[in-house]
Amino acid sequence: MDIQIGDILTMKKPHPCGSRDWQVLRIGADFRLRCCGCGHEVMGARSKFEKNIRQVRR
């Protein structure tokens, strides 16, 4: 999957704040994402996040 820093990812399931959109802050073996709704940052395995992506916006 071609994902770059600054892209907005729309996920299948919403964050508890209600937003489905996440901004990519770091890529590699792990992703660091920031919720576009509340600003919460999470970091996790690339494979885990790639399964849950519905749409990628530049």
Q: What is the pLDDT of residues 15-51, one digit of tens each?
A: 999 999 999 999 999 999 999 999 999 999 999 999 9
**Nearest to residue 6, comparing CAs of 30, 24, 29?**
24
Token code pair at residue 35: 């919720």
The pLDDT assigned to 32 comes to 98
Angle at Cα 37 formed by Cα 13 and Cα 28, nearest 5°? 70
pLDDT attached to residue 1: 83
For the cut 90, the answer to whether the pLDDT of residue 5 exceeds it is: yes
